[in-house]
Amino acid sequence: MNLPIVISDLVKAQNNFDSASYVNCFNETAVVFDEGKTHKGKKEIKNWIGKAQKVYQVTMKPLEYSETKQILDAEISGNFSGSPLVLSYQFELQDGRIQSLKIG
């Protein structure tokens, strides 16, 4: 599967529980929408992913990527009820980084 480099980097950072590398995939003004909450800017995104990694220990396995829609379907596994699940990650990329990410 051919993923944009920044999305491959994001998956790798997620699977290594590396919040610093994860947040480096985003622009300074990026926004993440997850579980009904909005996280704006790198500081909030780093806090969100750091806490989520500690609590849920989620790993991602990419299943399918639509280049035209910039949507990644991935199986996530971790320390949460219902694991594993398949979620869609809708990206907006800008200048080689993630500007927006909607998880659902």
Q: State the Cα angle at 40 between 78 and 76, rounded to 5°.
A: 15
Domain count, the chain: 1
94 pLDDT higher than 90: yes
Which is more confidently placed, 8 or 1?
8
The confidence score (pLDDT) of residue 1 equals 86
CATH number at residue 76: 3.10.450.50
Q: What is this structure's pTM?
A: 0.94
Confidence of residue 87 (pLDDT cuts 50, 70, 90): very high
Confidence of residue 103 (pLDDT cuts 50, 70, 90): very high
Whole domain around residue 51: which residue ranges? 5-103
pLDDT (mean) for 40-64 = 96
